[in-house]
Amino acid sequence: MKIKVLGCSGGIGGSSGSTCIQIGNHILLDAGSGLGALSLNHMRNIKHVVLSHAHIDHICSLPTFLANLFDYTTEPVTVHALPETIKVLQECVFNWKIWPDFTQLPSPEQPIMAFKPLQPRQPFELEGYTFMPFAVDHTVPTVGYSVKSHNHHFVFAADTRLSEKLIHQLNQLDPIDTLMIECAFPDRLAKVAVQSGHLTPITMAETIAAIKAPPKKIWVTHLKPSYEEELRHVFATTPAYQQWLVLK
């Protein structure tokens, strides 16, 4: 499986752009500011954008990315997302006020972008990869993704707080090779993390410990830039966390 993490920060000012992961040559998982790490030539190869939810750090580069494609695509880029996420994009972004409606440009017959709604637990195939969205517990409708190809199982847990819903969903999946899981705030801000639908080192560890078949590899992501140094220090100095890779 070909996975390239273009951005994995929980905001701006960190050691990378915000969440955007390239799967294979033609798929993006989320479209945060990390998308800007792609060259124009590589952007023109993208055929699908799979979104976890509508928060700005996960969709901020989608409009300007699409604006690069007018002369370079004969088929629309398909944006796969929950109906609730699509509604937000239509009403709040691609509304001719914030940005043009790219489902209508250059023409309704040959647009730059097309939306395709998805539902949790309903798998779909893209470019030889099997995606299966699953519901997580965030402040807006959000899904994580199970992605399978070439005998590898990659799971992106998306933005989420610790909950029985999350644990149940993770335990419904097949054994995980690589789990990409968030840790946005330090434990001293546990109340803020719960209110905003995020994990801390303790709740992240509790989530991982509750998975019946432990993942072979764990990538920690979505560190908020204001707390990145503090969180990295916790992961580097706490023996229980040192086996986990904090993405840059």
The one-letter code for the residue type at 125 is E
Q: How far apart are CA 187 and CA 181, in angstroms?
A: 16
Tokens of 94: 């691609």
DSSP-assigned letters across all residues of 10-70: SSSSSSSEESEEEETTTEEE--SGGGGGS-HHHHTT--EEE-S---HHHHTTHHHHHTT-T
Q: Which residue has the tokens 């070909």?
A: 2
User: Which residue in 2, 56, 4 sits closest to 31, CA to CA?
Assistant: 56
For residue 165, the tally of other CB atoms under 10 A from its CB is 14
Question: Quick check: helix, strand or coil at residue 229?
Answer: helix
Q: Where would I find the H helices in the chain? A: 40-43, 56-59, 62-66, 83-92, 164-171, 190-196, 201-209, 228-237
The pLDDT of residue 242 is 87
Q: Which parts of the chain register pLDDT below 70?
A: none
The pLDDT of residue 184 is 97
The one-letter code for the residue type at 53 is H
The pLDDT of residue 71 is 86
| 147 Cβ contact list (under 8 Å, min separation 6) | 1, 23, 29, 129, 130, 131, 132, 153, 154, 155, 156
DSSP 8-state secondary structure symbol assigned to residue 106: B
The pLDDT of residue 120 is 97
The pLDDT of residue 88 is 98
State how far the alpha carbon of 172 is from the alpha carbons of 134, 159, 177, in Å.
9, 18, 15
Model confidence pLDDT, tens digit, residues 72-81: 878 999 999 9
The angle at the Cα of 156, spanning 31 to 64, to the nearest 5 degrees, equals: 0
